[in-house]
Amino acid sequence: MKHILVTGANGQLGSELQFLSKNHNDFNFTFVDVDDLDITDQNKVIQYFAQGKFDVCINCAAYTAVDKAESDQELAFKVNVCGPENLAIACDKNNTTLFHVSTDFVFEGDSSTAYSENMQTSPLGVYGHTKLKGEQVIQQVLKKYYILRTAWLYSSYGNNFVKTMLRLGRERGELGVIVDQIGTPTYARDLAKAILLLINDNQECYGVYHFSNEGVASWYDFAKTIFMMKNIEVNVNPIPTSAYPTPAKRPSFSLLDKSKIKTTFNITIPYWQESLLNCLKLID
């Protein structure tokens, strides 16, 4: 039986892993959040690993407040760089495989084709820079790692774009949503399932992989589909990024090429509309 440690267990992905763990009696899960284990404290991380004898660590802990990171650089660096480095050091000492979740924000967003794993990274803001640095320190310290870059994550757990749209759609008759940022919404449960599939696979094909749902959308498309599926009548206006200035710049195009993970592990990935419908059934 594999012993699996999940950090950041109360976030969207961690919560989905907790839900799915009920169907995995072949795995022994330990779920921790910052109150149980602060991954930025190297001594505590090493001590925790020494007591636990984990085969796998899934790091779902991250500083994800994209705009706030611009003014809170120190904390973003601690969580997104020092935390993964500490986990990688502990994993290396204990022969533990690390699964680490990264982001499409490592890319600038100026490509005309979907981003593959070997394409040039060039983050636009602090969040993307710290996530990329987190990837790099893992690769320097550890051989047994999977880095999974994902995008536009949502779930029935936690706070996310889907829940925000549902709230605003019911409060207002009209909304403006950005139309010139292109990517793919990703249901956190699908990502959690993929991670568990990789653990079960035992191939040891370590490295960087991209995972999002299939298909292409703008935030405007995403919002319109949410309202349509939930039968919420609201007038949605497409607006350019320039009409909604934010502290952090975002990639205008962050479509991820999933060919590598699909061919390596024979994974079938659902289209984003199908997964959105499944998620919306769980949200009032």
245 falls in which pLDDT band (50, 70, 90)?
Answer: confident
Question: Is residue 176 in a domain?
Answer: no
Question: Is residue 152 in a domain?
Answer: yes
Q: Is the pLDDT of residue 17 over 90?
A: yes
244 falls in which pLDDT band (50, 70, 90)?
Answer: confident
pLDDT at residue 80 in the model: 97
More confident: 182 or 204:
182
Total domains present in the chain: 1
Question: Is residue 149 in a domain?
Answer: yes
Question: Is residue 222 in a domain?
Answer: no
Task: Give me the mean pLDDT over the 96-123 stretch.
Answer: 94
Question: Is residue 279 in a domain?
Answer: no
Q: What is the pLDDT of residues 188-233, one digit of tens each?
A: 999 999 999 999 887 889 999 999 999 999 999 999 999 999 999 9
Question: Is residue 83 in a domain?
Answer: yes
Q: Choose, from 127, 157, 187, 209, the residue flagged as catalytic.
A: 127
Task: Give me the mean pLDDT over the 155-183 stretch.
Answer: 94
Please state, in angstroms and as integers, the Cα–Cα distance from residue 87 to each residue in 25, 126, 179, 203, following that order.
25, 21, 38, 22
CATH of the domain at 138: 3.40.50.720
pLDDT at residue 68 in the model: 93
Question: Is residue 58 in a domain?
Answer: yes
pLDDT at residue 201 in the model: 87
- Quote the tokens at residue 117: 């794993």
Which DSSP string do the residues of 78-137 spell out, in sequence order? Answer: IIIIIHHHHHHHHHHHHT-EEEEEEEGGGS-S--SSPBPTTSPP--SSHHHHHHHHHHHH
Work out the percent of the chain whose per-residue pLDDT is above 90.
89
Mean predicted lDDT score pLDDT of the chain = 95
Active site residue 127: yes
Question: Is residue 194 in a domain?
Answer: yes
pLDDT at residue 1 in the model: 85
- Core vs surface per residue 191-227: b (16+ CB within 10 A) or e: bbbbbbebbeeeeeeeebbbbbbbbebbbbbbbbbbb
Q: What is the pLDDT of residues 41-91, one digit of tens each?
A: 999 999 999 988 899 999 999 999 898 999 999 999 999 999 999 999 999
The reported pTM is 0.95
Q: Is the pLDDT of residue 112 over 90?
A: no
Q: Is the pLDDT of residue 176 over 90?
A: yes
Print the domain residue range for 14: 2-159+185-214+254-270
pLDDT at residue 203 in the model: 83
275 falls in which pLDDT band (50, 70, 90)?
Answer: very high
